[in-house]
Amino acid sequence: MSNVIYKIGDDISTDIIYPGRYMATVLPSETPQFAFADVTELNTMLNQKEKSIPAIIIGGKNFGCGSSREQAASTLKGHNITVVARDFARIFLQNSINLGLNTVICPEIEADENDELEISETEVKNITKNKTFPIIPLPKARQAIVEAGGLIPYTQVKLKAKLGL
């Protein structure tokens, strides 16, 4: 179970998630400090949060629209964030999978800041409101990539298994 730390609306672009002026910073260890840099309250909250503690951001429709910058996904992964949204922009969702960011497609989600959520393979349960919402699960192959921590760790495990290492 994790708590919702922030609720944000529809059409949240990658430029809102990771502003373009920080594009020269690409190392996953450095990008998290710039997550939502222009949403001051959220940026402060993320940078003060203990990164080992998982948390949830609730998004609306078309989360991650705009450019294909993968830093938008890596910056959130660096904060141990799960994004639960009504839907995601296609490129952002694929970048999230490739980088191992937990994303949950939940078209009917109802949650507010400080609500406690429990996420399973088939639903999101809002413990605070005692309501359950179905999710659209990722295909099994894509979920396996996320669970491995991203495409590179997933590929490493597969190659080691194939080589008998």
Q: What is the pLDDT of residue 28?
A: 80
Q: DSSP string spanning 58-69?
A: EE-SSBTBS---
- The residue ranges of the chain whose pLDDT is under 50 are none
Which residue from 62, 56, 67 is spatially nearest to 95, judged by alpha carbons?
67
∠ Cα 119 124 127 (to 5°): 90
Classify each residue of 37-70 as buried b or exposed e, where b means 16 or more C-beta atoms within 10 Å of its C-beta: bebeebeebbeeeeeeeebbbbbeebbbbbbebb
Q: What are phi and psi of 144, to 5 degrees?
A: -65, -35
For residue 162, the number of C-alpha atoms closer than 13 Å in the C-beta half-sphere is: 6
pLDDT for 138: 96
Share above pLDDT 70 across residues of the chain, in percent, rounded to a whole number: 100
pLDDT at 25 (0 to 100): 81
pLDDT for the residue numbered 115: 97
pLDDT of 132 reads 98
Residues in the chain: 165
**pTM: predicted TM-score of the whole model, two decimal places:** 0.93
Q: Which domains, and CATH codes, for the chain?
A: 2-139 (3.20.19.10)
Residue among 94, 111, 77 nearest 1 (CA): 111
pLDDT score of 2:
93
Q: Which tokens sit at 115?
A: 């609500």
Token pair 């639960």 in the structure block, residue: 84
